[in-house]
Amino acid sequence: MHSIIAYPEKAQRDLLYVIFRSTDALEHLTGLPSFRMTLEKDPAHGIFAFSFKAADEKLVYIYFRSSTFGSPKTEYEQIREQASFIHRNPDAHYFALLLREAWFEWADDYIQRRIELPMHRLGYESLLSALDKADLSQIPSDLRQEVLLYRRHLQKEYDSFFQPVRIIETRLRQYAILWNIRRIAKDLWHTHNCSPLELDIRTQPHVHSAHLDQVFLRQHPPHRIFLEGYEITLRWELEKDGLFLRVWLPPMREKAARSIHTHLRKQAQACLEERFNIGRTRGTLKGIDAYHAREANLLRIELPEMQELMSVHEGETFGAISEKVATDLVDAIRFLPEIEARVLSGLSPALRTA
């Protein structure tokens, strides 16, 4: 049996196989009556963690992940083989059992909305409930204690997400911080707005090092502006260095891109500077032309509270700071229609002919 600390995903797959093979936890987890003797580990050449035959004679495949999917640009590469298999075998049942970083990244309707795969999301809540309902006394005695320890480990990890001050691991704490801000921000948003809003937790390589990455909260859907025949999108991204307003520009001449970028930044700053402290940021347009699009920073709102959240140890203080950051994020998103109005009304003749 692999060590859960040394080989977290491999160790958990091994342990979950023992649990599913010995008890009815799998039926409680998926809601599908199963023929336990058909359970297979690492089916389809290992691209799924488990498979079994359900009572309706259909095969059931479970994808398991407890680590990051990587950046939005490379995410689909991580599951390309699973996606290809699903498209070739559409009649089976598919589940994604997600823990740790993957649980944060593939939240709510993200699988259907972003990945467009018919995979039912399972997480801590589903797995813990299944383990509680299963008769663990059926597990071989030499492994029963390890299973009970694993169940306690899962509960402790899940509970810590609601109180990130208890998380020692820096990377997981970053995810939990953004997840709590996301929960508060969505409640604030839906209190006064009917339009849909999702805030996706993602990661990407650090701008200064290929060996580091940065975790951020990304607004979805972005705000669309139709400007001089171009569809341009604005979105906010929250990370430890502040709140960034990013613009996506479609393929166009570099001169036009620079004119539009300058105009957008000027109008956005005029809208936001009374409410927020605007900091410095770089927004390069290198590489844009008539054939290549470009996403770039427009401006940055300084939020030193994001750095504070990584070091605070008191739960009440953490809650107050998270509430403040979530409020700032929601307010910034609410400014987007006003930014659009200023952009369109302040369009200069030079921009029109750029």
Quick: pLDDT tens for 257-282.
Answer: 889 999 999 999 999 999 999 988 77
Range 279-305 burial, b when 16+ CB lie within 10 A, else e: eebebebeebeeeeebebbbbbbebeb
What are the φ/ψ torsions at residue 249 (nearest 5 degrees)?
Answer: -110, 130
Lowest mean pLDDT among 58-62, 193-197, 251-255: 193-197
The C-alpha atoms of residue 305 and residue 293 are separated, in whole angstroms, by: 33
Identify the helix (H) or strand (E) that includes residue 262.
Answer: helix 254-272
The C-alpha atoms of residue 275 and residue 254 are separated, in whole angstroms, by: 32
Over residues 35-39, mean pLDDT: 84
Tell me the two tokens of residue 224: 């669309």
Cβ atoms of 47 and 162 within 8 Å: the answer is no
What's the pLDDT score for residue 288? Answer: 78
The C-alpha atoms of residue 38 and residue 94 are separated, in whole angstroms, by: 16
Give percent of the chain with pLDDT exceeding 90. 62
Tell me the two tokens of residue 320: 């107050």
pLDDT higher than 50, residue 211: no
What's the pLDDT score for residue 4? Answer: 52
Cβ atoms of 188 and 91 within 8 Å: the answer is no
Q: How far is CA 275 from the centre of its chain?
A: 28
- Residue reference for tokens 């859907």: 221
pLDDT higher than 70, residue 1: no
What's the pLDDT score for residue 349? Answer: 47
The C-alpha atoms of residue 122 and residue 135 are separated, in whole angstroms, by: 20
Q: How far is CA 287 from the centre of its chain?
A: 28
Over residues 205-211, mean pLDDT: 47
Tell me the two tokens of residue 319: 């809650």
| Radius of gyration over every alpha carbon of the chain, rounded to an integer in angstroms | 23
Tell me the two tokens of residue 238: 């929250």
Pair type for strands 93-98 and 59-65: parallel
DSSP state letter for 10: H
Q: Look over the chain and give the mean of its residue pLDDT values, rounded to a whole number.
A: 88
pLDDT higher than 70, residue 306: yes
The C-alpha atoms of residue 260 and residue 254 are separated, in whole angstroms, by: 10
Handedness of CA 123, 126, 130, 132 (dihedral sign): positive
